């Protein structure tokens, strides 16, 4: 009996210690969404159960190992007790009750996390190997419906954002740890578009990560998220909706950022998944078939719209998306070419 | 030079020849049907090469089996010839040759499984250590070293992805073989049978793993693959040729699982000793039976899903590529319908070993034996209804996630029964700290961590954060080390005298335990914490600003401690095999029948059948015994 009493006290102490360690030391990232608050509430319940069960079993085991070990020179067996039907039934029924209760609150938190707000703003998210693009529907000052694309996900604070997730090649996954939620992104068009709802509640800069392995560039498939005040969001969107009225090369840089070109092509001479653009224009390029071509205007144009036509030696075919002539207007492609030309020397 | 006449060597030669032959065959067929053998377009050329190589590799696997002599008896039967049922080894050949040859003795097959398993675990460990070096800090580019490019033709992130994927699948293959080792070696011995029900099928089940493992490992030299061990399409449809080697290799290992499980089921159900009712059957055999039922009924699904990916890649049949009308989520359902029960295939035998060892070393009955036995079946049954918890964020039907959350949480109940029973078994015992006991206790603590980290992954809302993070990695390593690695090491130490007639080195065993236990705790707890902090899995590098560098470095150190612990283990068993102290009689003072026989176990186990006259684990009950070794009342001296 005295053994059980000591173990009981130790279990309570260990549970408290372990529980406080798990809930109070910040082993979850900062909270930046309404969903995170709900989810962290459920995490805390889990943490206390974990603390209790680890304490219970470990205390009994460690106590037994110390107190009930066979001492030097001792012979003979332990106390003969082969089981207790009532005890077995208790430790079957009680856990069933606990897990059913967990499942019920698990369902409730899920419905909280996925609650729909009809006022949500819609953002189309396009994932491809290995970049992100975010597209907003806006009405310009002239009353024209237009789409704005960006390589940064800008979201207004305290308003639900409905992300419609599209993939152009393989399965990706949208994940921002501070928002606590993720959703896989499936290729295959409208039928496979999946939705994710997030209500950011803290201004700041975060990172979207691809959470589903998607090939060699998976680790670098990142994009910036900015949570800003509502007014700031509106003015940002209006600014983006305006036509690009910069020089061709400057507009080209903007499209190159927006459409993910820079995920694979560097501007500083380092070789990434694709060749660098620095010093490319006007120079000789060796291809996989051994021939050499000069990187002129036509070469660059072909390389964007039909990337498999000429593969540079040392690089793989079928890596670059082959649908840029559909995604981009002719003007935008020409502006990107103009930008690459400006990096020629 | 006798090595060159072993099945192993002849099989490998036949496999090499068969692969070349098979490639020639596919090329000949292409010529006959007027199909090109090469193409100026790089992508088409690669596709044609893939068809030819895959054809060759499949033929090679079959010729391995023929060359090794696995089919010899069956061919004789097909021709109407008689074969002898007496498979006493040829005394003119040295004993070691049995282990490299087709042999029908379940103990030899068990050791063959075990050694192959340890080799695969070694390969998996080496892969892990390579990418742990890369991951020990942000910005490290160890895998970009020139040597990898020269050896393999690729390096950097793709090499990381390949090593990470291979680590997963090679370990899984190693674990499946380890499960085979334990059930083959132990089941007939524990139930009083002299062999498995179908010895030839048993040999087939082991030997198919050899070409399987060779093909799986060869994917490293066929461009690797970057999908992780899950091989989700459409990514697996685009991966290099190495992907096919992965698919074929796993397919063959799966075939072994199915064939092996038939033996375990039939043997436990029909060949038990007199008086051994189901509830007097040792717990390990319950676990092995539950495992075999899972293997027998679920493995087909992974075979099917891999076969479909293989066909889609080779012949352009569209099953999973949604851009062409397939459904990528369908693959995940098929895959996890096996791969979730598979996890229980990995752990149930290990949990059985824990339940066997704790009573012996606590000198007390296993608390609630029947409940522990039935809990294995409880886990096995529930495991069929939980697969979609791997898919909570996959984009499957959102409402279906709820029932899977309920079923998944229910797994905690039979698992809890095991923990409570183990704790109660230790309570008021006379605990003896030998190496096998240390590993069994370590397994309980580690598996406990694996158990309690399950529910946060089971409730969907928290899984939205944890899915595809390092938390899952930590949870899985907890279950695998607690449910397989530690119990497997415990089992090898415990039955080492039975296998070899010699004792392992106790001191080295204890050093190994502390090295591995501390190293593993460091490693897996950091994995869990990194996951909670939001670090996603399967990345070759991470941003220094996340502040994970110190933890990743410590994680690498923990990983290397585990690795060195296993190397010490290999040294210990290899050395003790020939140089260990001679172990005579009932080393552990066990009630189990195999320990009433001399060490090593005689060739045909029990020349006289024994009779079960009591409960298996009634330690501490005076004047009781589990088996009567001489039921006819003959005196032992008569033999």
Q: Domain for residue B619, yes or no?
A: no
Contact A64 B156 (CB under 8 A): no
Shared domain for A229 and A271, answered yes or no, is: no
Q: State the smallest CA–CA distance between residue B594 and chain A in angstroms.
A: 21
Contact B413 A92 (CB under 8 A): yes
**Confidence at residue B469, expressed as pLDDT on a 0 to 100 scale:** 96
What residues pair up with A149 in beta bridges, in sequence order? A135
The residue segments making up the domain with residue A198 are: 121-241
- Are both A301 and A319 inside the same structural domain? yes
User: Closest-CA residue in chain A for B164?
Assistant: A213
Say if residues B587 and B497 touch (Cβ distance below 8 Å): yes
Q: Give the Cα separation of B352 and B128 in Å (integer).
A: 28
Q: Which of A 122-151 lie inside 8 A of B, CB atoms?
A: none
B349 near B287, Cβ under 8 Å? yes
Contacts of B539 in chain A (CB under 8 A): 218-219
Is A74 part of any domain? Answer: no
Chain B: residue nearest A90 by CA? B417
Do A265 and A304 lie in one domain? The reply is: yes
**Which pairing describes strands A204-210 and A172-176: parallel, antiparallel, or unpaired?**
antiparallel
Helix (H), strand (E) at residue B497: helix B486-500
Looking at the fold, whether B471 and B413 belong to one and the same domain comes out as yes
Q: Is A75 part of a structural domain of the chain?
A: no
A81: left (phi over 0), alpha (psi -120 to 50) or beta: beta
Q: Are residues A24 and A135 part of one domain? A: no
The label of the residue with tokens 């409940």 reads: B371
Last residue of a domain, one of A241, A271, A298: A241
- Structural domains in chain A (count): 3
How many Å lie between the alpha carbon of B402 and the closest alpha carbon of chain A?
A: 7
Q: How crowded is residue B626: how many other Cβ atoms within 10 Å of its Cβ?
A: 22
Using a CB-CB cut-off of 8 Å, the residues of chain A touching B465 are 28, 39, 43, 177, 180-182
Quick one: B65 and B208 in the same domain?
A: no
Q: Are residues B32 and B139 both part of a single domain?
A: no
The two three-digit tokens of residue B147, written as one number: 């040597």
Distance in angstroms (rounded) separating the CA atoms of residues A210 and B236: 17
From the CA of A244, how many Å to the nearest CA of chain B? 33
Q: Does any domain span residue B553?
A: yes
In a domain, A77, yes or no: no
In a domain, A78, yes or no: no
Helices then strands (H, E): number in chain A? 8, 12
The residue from B528, B548, B579 where one domain ends is: B579
Residues B278 and B317 in one domain: yes
Structure-token match 């899950």, residue found? B230
Option in A78, A95, A170 nearest B412 (CB): A95
Q: Which two tokens stand for residue A189?
A: 């068009």
**From B368, which residue of chain A is nearest by alpha-carbon distance?**
A83
pLDDT at position A214, please? 93
- What's the rounded Cα separation, in Å, for the pair B432 and B363? 8
CA-based nearest distance A308→chain B, Å: 9
Q: Tell me the C-alpha distance between A304 and A79, whole Å.
A: 79
B465 contacts A81? CB cut-off 8 A: no
**Amino acid A140: pLDDT:** 67
Angle, in degrees to the nearest 10, between helices B470-480 and B328-362: 40
Q: Quick one: pLDDT at residue B179?
A: 96
Strand, coil or helix: A183: strand
Domain that holds residue B531: 103-579
CA distance linking residue B307 with residue B300, whole number of Å: 10
Residue B596 lies in a domain: no
Interface check A211 vs B, CB under 8 A? yes
Q: What is the CATH number of the domain that holds A234?
A: 2.60.40.420
Contacts of A95 in chain B (CB under 8 A): 412-413, 416
Question: In this structure, is residue B85 part of a structural domain?
Answer: no
Report chain A's C-alpha Rg in angstroms.
29
Q: Which of A224, A241, A258 finishes a domain?
A: A241
Nearest-angstrom CA–CA distance, B251 and B303 = 5
Burial class (CB in 10 A: 0-12, 13-18, 19+), A152: middle
When scoring A55, A80, A108, A198 by the number of chain B Cβ atoms within 10 A, the one with the most, hence best to mutate, is A80
Residue B456 falls inside a structural domain: yes
User: And the tokens for A10?
Assistant: 């130790």
Q: Cβ of A46 and B621 within 8 Å?
A: no
Q: Are A61 and B444 in contact (CB under 8 A)?
A: yes
- Choice between B247 and A329, residue whose per-residue pLDDT is larger: B247
d(CA A191, CA A14): 51
pLDDT at A345: 64
Co-location of A149 and A215 in the same domain: yes
Torsion of CA A184, A190, A196, A198, to 10 degrees: 140
Using only C-alpha atoms, chain B has a radius of gyration, in whole angstroms, of: 25
> What is the pLDDT, as a whole number, of residue B82?
87
State whether A171 and B420 contact (CB < 8 Å). no
**What is d(CA B99, CA B119) in angstroms, rounded to the nearest whole number?**
15
Map residue A126 onto helix, strand or coil: strand
Contact B234 A84 (CB under 8 A): no
Report whether A311 contacts B42 (CB < 8 A): yes
- Judgement on whether residues B24 and B143 belong to the same structural domain of the protein: no
Mean pLDDT on A44-53: 96
Across the interface, whether the CB atoms of B43 and A54 are under 8 A apart is answered no
Nearest Cα of chain B lies from the Cα of A184 at a distance, in angstroms, of 5
Q: In the predicted model, what is the mean pLDDT of residues A86-98?
A: 92
Are residues B462 and A70, on separate chains, in Cβ contact within 8 Å?
A: no
- Would the CB atoms of A28 and B533 count as touching at under 8 Å? yes
Number of domains chain B is built from: 2
* DSSP line for A278-312: TT-TTSEEEBTTS-EEE--HHHHHHHHH-TTSSPB
State the pLDDT at residue A141. 65
The predicted-structure confidence for A105-134, as pLDDT tens digits, reads as follows 999 999 999 999 998 999 999 999 889 999
* Contact by Cβ (8 Å): A276, A265: yes
User: For residue B80, how many other CB atoms are within 10 A of its CB?
Assistant: 6
The last residue of one of the domains, among A241, A261, A277, is A241
Whether A215 contacts chain B with CB within 8 A: yes
Cross-strand bridge partners of residue A124: A135, A164
What is the mean pLDDT for each group of 10 consecutive residues in chain B (639 residues)?
85 95 95 89 87 95 93 91 79 84 92 96 96 92 89 90 95 96 95 92 95 95 93 92 95 94 95 92 94 93 93 92 90 93 93 95 91 89 92 92 94 92 92 94 96 95 95 96 96 95 95 97 96 94 91 96 96 94 91 91 88 90 87 55
Close Cβ partners of B453 (under 8 Å, ≥ 6 residues apart): A50, B471, B474, B475, B478, B528
Tokens of B235: 């990514």
DSSP letters along A204-243, please?
EEEEEEE-S--STTGGG-EEEEEEE-HHHHHHHHHHHHS-
Contact yes or no for B187/B264 (Cβ under 8 A): yes
We report the CATH number of the domain holding residue B549 as 1.20.210.10
Degrees to nearest 5, angle at CA B454 with B448 and B456: 130
Q: Is A171 on the interface with B (CB under 8 A)?
A: yes
Q: Hey, of A125, A218, A306, A312, which one would you mutate to test binding to chain B, going by the most B CBs within 10 A of its CB?
A: A218
**Taking CB atoms and an 8 Å limit, are B464 and A38 in contact across chains?**
no
* B368 closest CB neighbour out of A88, A170, A178: A88
B459 closest CB neighbour out of A42, A82, A91: A42
Q: Across the interface, do B529 and A27 touch by the CB < 8 Å criterion? A: yes
* B323/B456 same-domain check: yes
């Amino acid at each position: 009996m005295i053994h059980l009493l000591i173990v009981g006290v130790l279990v309570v102490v260990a549970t408290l210690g372990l529980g406080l360690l798990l809930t109070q030391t910040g082993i979850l990232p900062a909270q930046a969404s309404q969903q995170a608050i709900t989810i962290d509430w459920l995490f805390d319940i889990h943490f206390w159960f974990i603390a209790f069960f680890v304490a219970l079993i470990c205390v009994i085991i460690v106590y037994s190992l110390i107190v009930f070990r066979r001492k030097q020179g001792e012979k003979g067996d332990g106390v003969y007790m082969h089981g207790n039907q009532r005890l077995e039934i208790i430790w079957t029924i009680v856990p069933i009750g606990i897990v059913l209760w967990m499942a019920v609150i698990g369902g409730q938190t899920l419905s909280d996390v996925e609650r729909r707000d009809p006022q949500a703003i819609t953002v189309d998210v396009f994932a491809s190997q290995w970049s992100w693009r975010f597209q907003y529907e806006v009405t310009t000052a002239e009353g024209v419906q237009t789409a704005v694309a960006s390589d940064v996900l800008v979201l207004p604070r305290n308003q639900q954002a409905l992300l419609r997730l599209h993939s152009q090649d393989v399965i990706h996954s949208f994940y921002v740890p501070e928002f606590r939620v993720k959703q896989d992104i499936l290729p295959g068009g409208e039928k496979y578009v999946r939705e994710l709802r997030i209500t950011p509640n803290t201004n700041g800069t975060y990172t979207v990560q691809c959470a589903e392995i998607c090939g060699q560039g998976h680790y670098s498939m990142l994009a910036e998220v900015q949570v800003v005040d509502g007014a700031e969001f509106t003015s940002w969107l209006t600014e983006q909706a305006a036509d690009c009225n910069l020089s061709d090369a400057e507009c080209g840089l903007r499209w190159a950022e927006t459409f993910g070109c820079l995920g694979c092509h560097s501007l500083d001479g380092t070789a990434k998944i694709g060749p660098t653009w620095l010093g490319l224009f006007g120079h000789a390029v060796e291809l996989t078939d051994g021939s050499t071509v000069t990187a002129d205007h036509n070469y660059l144009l072909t390389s964007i719209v039909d990337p498999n036509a000429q593969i540079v030696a040392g690089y793989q075919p079928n890596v670059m998306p082959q649908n840029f002539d559909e995604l981009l207007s002719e003007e935008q492609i020409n502006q990107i070419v103009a930008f690459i030309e400006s990096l020629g020397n | 030079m006798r090595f060159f006449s072993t099945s192993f060597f002849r099989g490998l030669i036949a496999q090499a020849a068969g692969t070349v032959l098979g490639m020639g065959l596919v090329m000949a067929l292409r010529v006959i049907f007027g199909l090109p053998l090469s193409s100026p377009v790089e992508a088409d050329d690669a596709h044609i090469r893939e068809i030819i190589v895959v054809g060759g590799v499949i033929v090679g696997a079959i010729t391995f089996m023929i060359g090794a002599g696995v089919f010899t008896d069956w061919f004789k039967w097909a021709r109407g010839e008689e074969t002898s049922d007496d498979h006493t080894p040829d005394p003119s050949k040295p004993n070691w040759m049995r282990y490299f040859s087709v042999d029908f003795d379940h103990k030899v097959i068990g050791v063959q499984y075990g050694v192959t398993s340890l080799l695969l675990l070694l390969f998996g460990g080496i892969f892990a250590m390579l990418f742990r070096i890369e991951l020990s800090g942000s910005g490290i580019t160890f895998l970009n070293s020139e040597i990898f490019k020269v050896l393999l033709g690729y390096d950097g992130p793709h090499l990381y992805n390949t090593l990470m994927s291979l680590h997963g699948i090679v370990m899984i293959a190693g674990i499946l073989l380890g499960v085979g080792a334990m059930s083959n070696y132990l089941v007939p011995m524990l139930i009083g049978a002299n062999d498995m029900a179908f010895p030839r099928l048993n040999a087939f089940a082991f030997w198919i793993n050899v070409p399987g493992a060779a093909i799986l490992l060869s994917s490293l030299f066929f461009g690797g693959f970057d999908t992780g061990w899950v091989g989700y399409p459409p990514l697996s449809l685009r991966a290099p040729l190495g992907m096919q080697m992965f698919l074929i290799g796993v397919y063959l290992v799966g075939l072994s699982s199915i064939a092996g499980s038939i033996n375990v089921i039939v043997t436990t159900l029909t060949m038990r000793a007199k008086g051994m009712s189901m509830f007097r059957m040792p717990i390990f055999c319950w676990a092995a039976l539950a495992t075999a039922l899972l293997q027998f009924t679920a493995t087909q699904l992974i075979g099917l899903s891999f076969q479909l990916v293989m066909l889609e890649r080779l012949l352009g049949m569209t099953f999973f590529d949604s851009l062409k009308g397939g459904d990528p989520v369908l693959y995940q359902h098929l895959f996890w319908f096996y791969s979730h029960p598979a996890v229980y295939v990995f752990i149930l035998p290990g949990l059985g070993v824990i339940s066997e060892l704790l009573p012996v070393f606590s000198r007390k009955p296993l608390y609630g034996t029947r409940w522990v036995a039935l809990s294995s079946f409880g886990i096995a049954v529930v495991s069929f209804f939980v697969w979609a918890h791997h898919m909570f964020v996959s984009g499957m039907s959102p409402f279906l996630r709820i029932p899977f959350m309920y079923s998944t949480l229910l797994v905690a109940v039979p698992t809890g029964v095991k923990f409570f029973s183990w704790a109660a078994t230790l309570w008021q015992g006379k605990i003896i700290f030998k190496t096998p006991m240390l590993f069994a206790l370590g397994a309980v603590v580690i598996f406990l961590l694996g158990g309690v980290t399950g529910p946060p992954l089971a409730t969907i809302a928290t899984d939205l954060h944890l899915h595809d993070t390092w938390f899952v990695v930590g949870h899985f390593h907890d279950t695998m080390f607690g449910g397989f690695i530690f119990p497997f090491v415990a089992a090898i130490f415990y039955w080492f005298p039975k296998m070899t007639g010699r004792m392992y080195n106790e001191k080295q065993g204890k050093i190994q335990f502390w090295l591995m236990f501390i190293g593993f705790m460091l490693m897996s707890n950091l994995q869990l914490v990194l996951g909670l902090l939001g670090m996603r899995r399967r990345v070759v590098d991470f941003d220094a600003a996340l502040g994970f560098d110190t933890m990743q470095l410590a994680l690498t150190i923990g990983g290397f401690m585990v690795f060195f612990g296993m190397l010490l283990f290999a040294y210990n068993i290899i050395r003790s095999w020939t140089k260990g102290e001679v172990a005579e009689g009932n080393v552990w003072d066990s009630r189990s029948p195999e320990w009433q026989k001399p060490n090593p176990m005689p060739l045909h186990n029990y020349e006289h059948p024994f009779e079960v006259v009591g409960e298996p684990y009634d330690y501490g009950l005076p004047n009781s015994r589990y088996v009567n070794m001489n039921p006819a009342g003959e005196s032992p001296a008569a033999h």
